[in-house]
Structure 1
Amino acid sequence: MPRWVAEAIAVPAAAQAAVTPVLVLMSGQISLIAVPANLLAGPAVAPATLLGFAAALIAPVWPEAAQWLVVPAGYAVGWIILVSQWAVNVPMANIPWPGGAAGLALLALVAAVAVLLLRRRAWRTITLAVVAGTLFTMIALRPIIAPWPPKGWLMVMCDVGQGDGLVLAAGPGRAVVVDTGPDPSVMDACLRRLSVRDVPLVILTHPHADHVNGLPGVYRNRRVGAVVTTPHRHPTPQTARLTEELAHHRTPEWTPPPGTRWDLGPASLTVLAPSADEATAEGPGEGSVLNNASIVIHVRWRSGTALLSGDIESEAQESLLRAAVPQADILKVPHHGSPRQVPAFFAAVRPRAALVSVGEDNTYGHPAPPTLAHLRHLGARIYRTDKSGDLAVIAHNGTLAVVARGR
């Protein structure tokens, strides 16, 4: 290997080695793409920084010259963004790793073994060949064995952590988004995996951060037709940020009443709740008023139905029971499976499959054991994003089936 190549690799490799223990502690994963991504983005960092700084200095006294400097700086920043977007989509870019002290101990053991194996040339050649072969097999064969998304997917529950982010197919390259999770990058990545370029409708069930903060990710390189929000929007930091976001993109905002229906691609969506004329019920927990104000959607496909219930708690569930909630093959379990559920509500829906969008090792105790017990008692098959990653609903032999992407 030429000396200049080794020196170019050494700096980002050393930096990655220094931060890997911190990443293991914080996120429980190891990045395999960081070094090549830094090598690609590195040449653009200096021009972007220096030209941007120079433009900021001279802009007050010579704005015309500053505009000329901003143009190449913008190209440099664009290259960095392009590299980061590529790196996010590389298969096996990050591999799961135990977190905490156990993860650090395992990392130290692996590093010690690697040093021993790489000291001798014969062992080094064999080790590198085995590692390269393993990575190639995992990257090349995984899309063949388990392609994602599954062909003909109807709905995908994105693994957004502790939050909700659902995508309903609405035609080639088109989809309806129901909630956007807490992180724009995660929501954007899920939509890119599904090749979604056009979003005619975004439904934000209620303005809590874990349901609306990912909205900027939906806008990335996509057209958004309109955004649907609950009629009960109380003043919160999230509602203020949401208003600014919609105004910035000049996106129409709708608050449709119950009974409103959209037919988009293979899906027919009907709003069940809430009504603007009825006050939102308050429960004992913090944020219960907004949770109970969640928009509830009934989805119908040719092969079956789904009920998307936002974060409704027991008060709103009882209200839906009084209004004769429809049955559904698939239930998006309310409020990430919190304990504030009405068993009669589950019994009325009679789901064959229950999908829980929940963050791994979350501090809320979601999903609650009693909630899972109620669903199992009804014979529902339970799927969780913290265990299985993205979850896709597909048509299979005239009915609906759930396919897990895996974590």
Structure 2
Amino acid sequence: MEPAFQLSVAATAGIVLVGARLKDMFSERLPVFIAAPLALAVSSQLFVTPVLLPLAEGVTLYSIPANILAGPLLPLVTVPGTLAAVLSTTAPWFSTGLLWLAGLPGSGIAMIGYAAASLPQALAPWPEGLTGWVLAAVYTAAAIALCRMVIDFRSRPRTGEKLLLGSAVGVLAAVVVPLGALPIPLIGQSPPEGWRLALCDVGQGDMLVVRTGEHAAIVVDAGEEPELAEACLSTLAVDQVEILMITHDHLDHYGGIPGVAEAAMIEEIVYSGDAGWSVVEAVEAQDGTVLQVPESRGRVGQSQDQEGAYPVTWQVWAAADYHSNTNDNSLVVHFGLWDPETAAGAVGSANDPLRLLTLGDLEEEIAGLLLGRNALPNVVDVLKVSHHGAANGGTAVLKHASPSVALIGVGEDNDYGHPSDAVVDTLNDLGAATYRTDEHGTVGFILSEEKFTPVPLE
């Protein structure tokens, strides 16, 4: 059965079974123009949630208010749209006008959906495996008890029903409250199965994790706060960092290394930055942490294949040490990720991998020189935007790469104005799906069946 049909059946069942009763109950305390759409949204959401959990892999927190806002626009779409379909063969010129009119409220519904999806915790993670199924069963049982109480609202709820409802409230509170903001994972939370890439929320800093094994990864930068870097790797269940790549010698890119070392064994460090700078020496000078890890400067053209269940290739495209602005000495790396089970020829297959470009804090002038020398990759699917989306990163690389997905590591309410409006507007114009840690927190991505799917981890 198609998911859309399942959702339609579930929503209709909710409206038919408890919608009218909920409207009567809400009308006792609310004006009817609020009670009616609220009852419609709540009754449908109550029944579609058990269907949505395995599809969305999380709880959509803003569905009810979004549906209430979008509800008045729906008839303005369906009525002229249906009439246009009827008249399309006999009066196509008239049906075109009707469809154009229907498009205006349709755009309004889309804007409401996009706005709700961009809010913090828009998709709160739901635990996977046995824990997730048990909690879903508690939710479903509580929903049934609530429906019985609504239908026969004159009867007093039984003790068992009170217990179920209390359990359901506790379950939703545990999942919905953004505990991911704390340096501990949610109880029962585990990384999404098959995740390949994660943008870590480390405040005003950068940290990207590229999976290479069951509990192994390449880490690009580590932010500034060790506890946040450690929390991200713990959430991802990464205990082996095959390569730690540090793009340059700014604290918001290497300050979190002690946390990485606490969470995982670091096998090797590849870095760039000013001439004479050493990652190991900088970390020891910072807080006394001694890293017994071999380190080496990245070299343009340096490459490696990471084979296994989560294959990755990478190549260094820039690693200068002579620019006066250390941002321009950033390590620029082009990754290729693929799924061994994806059919040949499809994006994400061995012969057409998903391409990720990480730019460090590369600024506009040097980026322009690299573009002029054709010294940056031409094929980019996912772009880690330079310098937290700062204006000095420019937009030329964005337009050259034209990524489908853009990643921005940036602190909430930062004092730098990151990301800049010019960068955000350019990414929107390019049609890129942009994920920002200040708005979306830590985000994991799954690559399968030609899809690159985001999964919030906070």
Q: How high is the TM-score relative to the length of structure 2?
A: 0.54
Whether the 8 Å CA contact 1:233–1:239 is kept in 2: the answer is: no
Instruction: Report the equivalent of 2:365.
Output: 315
- Structure 2 counterpart of 1:212, from 225, 243, 254: 254
The answer to whether structure 1 residue 357 and structure 2 residue 393 are counterparts is: no
The answer to whether structure 1 residue 297 and structure 2 residue 338 are counterparts is: no
Matches of 1:176 and 1:149, distance apart in 2: 16
SS at 1:248 equivalent: coil
Instruction: Report the equivalent of 1:166.
Output: 208
Give the Å deviation of 1:269: 1.1
Instruction: Report the equivalent of 2:290.
Output: 248
Deviation per residue, 1:177-231 (Å, 9 max, x gap)? 1101111111111101111111111001011111111000111153211111215
Instruction: Report the equivalent of 1:136.
Output: 171
**Alpha-carbon distance change, 261 to 343 in structure 1, aligned in 2, over 3 angstroms:** same
**Alpha-carbon distance change, 199 to 246 in structure 1, aligned in 2, over 3 angstroms:** farther
Ranges in structure 2 where 5+ consecutive residues have no aligned partner: 1-126, 128-161, 178-184, 339-347, 349-353
SS at 2:205 equivalent: coil
- Structure 1 counterpart of 2:195, from 153, 157, 170: 153
- Structure 1 counterpart of 2:228, from 178, 186, 190: 186
Instruction: Report the equivalent of 1:264.
Output: 306
The answer to whether structure 1 residue 397 and structure 2 residue 449 are counterparts is: yes
Whether the 8 Å CA contact 2:212–2:312 is kept in 1: the answer is: yes
Runs of 4 or more above 6 Å deviation: 127-132, 140-144
SS at 1:151 equivalent: coil
Amino acid across the alignment from 1:313: E
Give the Å deviation of 1:360: 0.5
**Alpha-carbon distance change, 405 to 140 in structure 1, aligned in 2, over 3 angstroms:** closer
Structure-to-structure mapping, 1:1-400, within 5 angstroms: 134-139=169-174, 148-230=190-272, 232-233=274-275, 240-242=281-283, 244=285, 248-265=290-307, 266-276=311-321, 279-280=322-323, 282=324, 289-302=325-338, 303=348, 304-324=354-374, 325-326=376-377, 327-400=379-452
What is the number of residues matched between the two proteins? 271
Ranges in structure 1 where 5+ consecutive residues have no aligned partner: 1-90, 92-126, 283-288
Matches of 2:234 and 2:447, distance apart in 1: 22
Whether the 8 Å CA contact 2:197–2:208 is kept in 1: the answer is: yes
Give the Å deviation of 1:239: 7.8
**Alpha-carbon distance change, 201 to 194 in structure 1, aligned in 2, over 3 angstroms:** same
Matches of 2:288 and 2:368, distance apart in 1: 33
**Two-structure CA RMSD over aligned residues (Å):** 3.1
Whether the 8 Å CA contact 1:329–1:400 is kept in 2: the answer is: no
**Alpha-carbon distance change, 374 to 132 in structure 1, aligned in 2, over 3 angstroms:** same
Amino acid across the alignment from 1:259: G
Matches of 2:197 and 2:270, distance apart in 1: 18
